Amino acid sequence: MAIPAPGLDDDEPVVTRMTVAFRGSFAASTRGLGFMSSRARLKSFSLWADHADDVGFPVAKPEMVLGVTNRRLVVWRPSFWFGRPAELVGTIPFENIIHVEVYRAGPTAVLVFGFRNGEFVEVESMRARPMRDIRDAVRAHL
């Protein structure tokens, strides 16, 4: 089933997609109350984003829509309503990824990407099944 999304070629269907957050988002959000929680979350995101950017993982906001096409891993900025892909942030060729795995960390599911340069980037969600779908779709191309 083709899922329309911005920034893709006409003959490039989305195999699967889901909204995820940076690794540590849940923990940072629960560290404080109100304003302090937002500050802790943004500080954690900044550290995560610096690392992700160094590795070559595209980042725009703490939440992102992650998708797999028949050619690459894709990251979009989510729309305000319903979290649909709104704007292409960047892509990662399958050739840059050597491993992908999903594991549980408390109430969250974590999706880990291992890159050829030896680095890892993790994203998280409360929903494990769509993460396993992304893992399986990426593994099919490795």
Residue range(s) defining the domain that contains residue 88: 14-139
Task: Indicate whether 120 pLDDT > 70.
Answer: yes
CATH at residue 69: 2.30.29.30
Domains in the chain: how many in total? 1
Residue 3 forms part of a structural domain: no
pTM of the model: 0.87
Residue 1 forms part of a structural domain: no
Q: Tens of pLDDT along 74-115?
A: 999 998 887 789 899 999 999 999 999 999 988 899 999 999
Beta strand residue intervals within 52-96, DSSP E: 63-69, 72-78, 85-93
Residue 9 forms part of a structural domain: no
- In the predicted model, what is the mean pLDDT of residues 9-37? 76
Closest CA to 110 of 10, 4, 1, 25: 25
Residue 101 forms part of a structural domain: yes
Residue 128 forms part of a structural domain: yes
Confidence of residue 35 (pLDDT cuts 50, 70, 90): low
CA distance 50 to 140: 29
